[in-house]
Structure 1
């Protein structure tokens, strides 16, 4: 009688916990299936990135630095090479690799040209918009000033407003994938936190519900034997 009472309690707990676990289980399954629909290379739009042409190293001129730097890199920016310096204050500046002269921030017309030069797809650039470092778009999520180039196929290409470098390329599939990833980890706003109390709670409820269901399954199999 005691066993039957315990099993009846398991049944009731399994039913009630099942209601609580149903929503996250559906979301986890739905988001997981969605994220397998396209190869990750298509999601990232790797075929839409144009590989920069190599530059001739023998014609490079060192930058005319006016302050100490902690990092100096050479990058291809459209059809030219530029130096990008990072100072102790974390501020990044760019210099011409042809003359060594300092270059100012990227303006709108240059941002359009850089976005079109970096994009290898057939779609046309339809809009260009600047974002401040403290207000990055959700599909960029990097604290850098940027220009967002929007193409006709829905692709967003981000150009660093200080250095002219390509920060990211985001396809429509990437943004949908990113949303599903946020649902998968139960962080639909930031979409980065994979260790938080809500995920622990729902995961524990789903685990306990599964254990109760497994226990009841073996009990019913024994009762079904002749």
Structure 2
């Protein structure tokens, strides 16, 4: 009799947990199914990315007069030719020509368009180039820095760093929908990067409890039918 009362209590808990976590479980299932069904290469737009031009090391020379200590230096390929991206010890970033002769100014609109066209291997026409100040870039850029956004007729967006001229991201419409699904999946629609926040952990724990109770009830009911 006591065991029967315990099972009845488990059944009530299972029902209440089902009402509480039913929507999150459905959301996790739908978003997980969508993400699993999409080839990640298509989502990333790998077919729309052009290969970077190779750099001839014979034409490269490191800047000799920088004026302050540096933390890092990277050689990048741009439509105008290779360039050095220098990060100072204090964190400021600037770029130099690959021969080390002169510092280069920040990217202007025409250069941003050329960089985007070089990085984009699709056939759609470029429609616009838009500048976003620091902290105002769209969420799919995943950057707090100042960026240029080049948009194409097929919905592709190419983001270029205003300081270095590097391509930060190439985003397709499919990627943006995938990103929304990912944000729903981890319950973080703001940054879509935090998969460790308390809301997600609590609902996941409640879902595990509900599933465990359901499995227990299923086992007991099956045993009862066998005895009958």
- Please indicate the TM-score interval, normalised by the length of the shorter structure: over 0.9
- Offset, 1:79: 4.3
1:167 is paired with a residue whose SS is strand
Partner of 1:62: 62
Matching residue of 2:11: 11
Quote the residue 1:137 is aligned against: 138
Structure 2 SS opposite 1:36:
helix
Deviation track 1:86-123 (CA, whole Å, cap 9, x = no partner) reads 11221111112246211100011111111111111111
Secondary structure of 1:10 counterpart: helix
Aligned partners of 1:125 and 1:152 also within 8 Å: yes
CA distance in 2, matches of 1:153, 1:79: 26
Verify the 8 A CA contact 1:73 1:83 in the aligned structure 2.
yes
Look up the SS of the partner of 1:71 in the other structure.
Answer: strand
C-alpha offsets along residues 103-148 of structure 1, whole Å, 9 cap, x if unaligned?
A: 1000111111111111111111111111222223211222221101
Within 5 Å, which residues of 2 pair with 1:1-226?
1-63=1-63, 64-98=65-99, 100-225=101-226, 226=228
- How high is the TM-score relative to the length of structure 2? 0.94
CA contact (8 A) 1:78 1:118 kept: no
What secondary structure does 1:75 align onto?
strand
Q: Distance in 1 between matches of 2:29 and 2:155?
A: 27
Aligned-partner Cα distance in 1 for 2:167–2:56? 21
* 1:25–1:206 CA contact under 8 A, matched in 2: yes
Tell me if structure 2 keeps the 8 A contact 1:105–1:161: yes
What is the alpha-carbon distance in structure 2 between the residues aligned to residue 71 and residue 99 of structure 1? 15
CA distance in 1, matches of 2:62, 2:205: 58
- Secondary structure, in 3 states, of the residue corresponding to 2:83? strand
Q: Which runs of 5+ in 2 are unaligned?
A: none
Question: What stretches of structure 1 of length at least 5 have no aligned partner?
Answer: none
- Give the aligned length: 226
